[in-house]
Amino acid sequence: MNAIEVNDLYQTKIEVEDQSYDSRKLAYQLALKEVFIRVTGNPQIEQISSIKKAIQRPVSYLNRYQYETLQDKLLLQVQFNETAVNKLIKQNNQTIWGKRRPLLLWWIVVDNQGQKHIVADGDAQPNTLIQLQSKKRGLPLLFPLMDFDDQTQLTLTDLWGRFQAPVLQASQRYNPDSVVMVRVFKQDNEQESVLANQWIAQLTLIEQGEPVTHVFKAEEQIELWPEMVDWLADYMAEKYSIRANSVSAEFLSLTVNNVNDAITAIKIQEFLDSISAVEKSQIQSVNPNGVSFKLKLLGEALDVLDALSLDNRIEIVKPKFGQEQPAIPNLYRWKG
C-alpha cells in the first residue's frame, strides 16, 4: 500500500478581499468549517450545535495566521490547534479520519463533441478543479503521465469502456491505493430525455479489487469535478475514519482472530511492531475471540488504526446486522 501522510489537515487558505477584521473573521469561520469537514470526513458536521458554535467563534481554535499574495489574489493562511479541534470532535462522539489516507489514481477520458481525450498529469483542466477540491477534503491524488509506457499499456477504448484489467495493469507503476476511472460526455441533444444537454460522468472506484460505481449529472462540465471528489471523500471517510472517543493516547488494545498457531501470532506481533506509531506490542491473552495484543504507542492511536485499515494483510471485523458497534472493540481478522 502507498497511503500518503497528509500533514496539513488542520490548516487551509481562504481568499479575502482585504486585511480588515471583518474579512479575517469570515475567513476564520470558513477555514474552521473546512477543517472540521476534512478531519471528520463529514460534510454535514456543522449541523451539530456545538460545532456550529465553534465555527462562529473560531479564534478559540486558532494557532496562527498569515497573509500571502498568489496570482494577484490575497489569501489568508490559517492554522488551527489540532488538540482543540480533536477534543471537540471527541466530545461530540464524531469520527476522525487520520493523517494516513489512500492515494487515488485518476484515469479520466472526456468526450467533447465526439473528440475523446485522456486527461494527463500536465493538463490544466480538469486537473486544477480536482486538485483544489481534493486539497479541501484532504484526499491525495495522482494523474497518469500518459507517456510512452502508459500509451503502450492502455488504449482509449480500454479506458472509455472502463475495462478493469488493462487499467489496473497500467496503474501498477504508480502504486496507488485505489484507482478511479471516469468517462465524461454530454447527453445527445436529439434524445427525448430529461438528461438532454446535461453532462454525465460515469465513475468507477476500484479499491482492493472491488469496483464501486456512481453516476453524476450537471448542466456544466465544470460542476462535475468537485461533486466526484466529494463523493470519493465521503466514501473513503466512512470506510476509514475512527470514532475519536474509542482510543486512548498511550496504549491501544486490539484482538485478532483467524490465528491458528503460535507462528501466526508471532508474525502478527512482528507486523504490529513494524507500524511507525507503535513502540512495542505484546500478546496479552489467547481466548475464543482470538489473540489480544496491547500496543505501546509512539504516536497517535488513530495513526495505528489508519495503518491497519490500509493494509491488505488485516481487516476490521464489522458489526453484525443490527449492531451499532462490534461486541469486541478493535476486533480484526488476520488475512496473512
pLDDT band at 261 (very low <50, low <70, confident <90, very high): very high
CATH of the domain at 254: 3.30.70
**In the predicted model, what is the mean pLDDT of the chain?**
91
Q: List, in sequence order, the alpha helices (H) in 4-81.
A: 21-40, 49-56
Same domain, 24 and 88: yes
Same domain, 119 and 230: yes
Same domain, 230 and 251: no
- Domain boundaries, position 307: 247-334
Q: What is the mean pLDDT of residues 243-250?
A: 67
Written as one letter, the residue type at 75 is L
Output DSSP code: residue 319.
Answer: P
Q: List, in sequence order, the alpha helices (H) in the chain.
A: 21-40, 49-56, 82-91, 127-137, 148-153, 156-160, 164-171, 224-240, 262-273, 301-309
Q: What is the mean pLDDT of residues 236-264?
A: 84
Q: How far apart are the first and last CA of the chain?
A: 15
At 259, list the grid cell: 490465528
Same domain, 30 and 56: yes
Q: How many domains does the chain have?
A: 3
SS3 assignment, position 191: coil
Query: What whole-number distance in Å separates Cα of residue 88 and Cα of residue 94?
Result: 9
Same domain, 124 and 178: yes
pTM of the model: 0.80
Same domain, 150 and 171: yes
pLDDT tens digits, 124-141: 999 999 999 999 999 999
- The last residue of a domain, from among 221, 240, 259: 240
- The last residue of a domain, from among 96, 128, 149: 96
Look at residue 336 and tell me whether its pLDDT is greater than 60. Answer: yes
Query: What whole-number distance in Å separates Cα of residue 304 and Cα of residue 275?
Result: 7
Same domain, 12 and 75: yes
CATH of the domain at 167: 3.40.50
- The last residue of a domain, from among 39, 69, 96: 96
With both helix axes pointing from N to C terminus, report the angle between 82-91 and 21-40 in degrees, rounded to the nearest 10: 60
Same domain, 35 and 116: no
Same domain, 85 and 124: no
Percent with pLDDT over 70 in the chain: 92
Q: What is the mean pLDDT of residues 296-311?
A: 82
Same domain, 40 and 146: no
Query: What whole-number distance in Å separates Cα of residue 170 and Cα of residue 152?
Result: 9
Cβ atoms within 10 Å of 203's Cβ, excluding its own:
22
Distance set, CA 148 to CA 127, 144, 205 (Å): 20, 11, 25
Look at residue 142 and tell me whether its pLDDT is greater than 60. Answer: yes
Same domain, 110 and 200: yes
Same domain, 209 and 129: yes
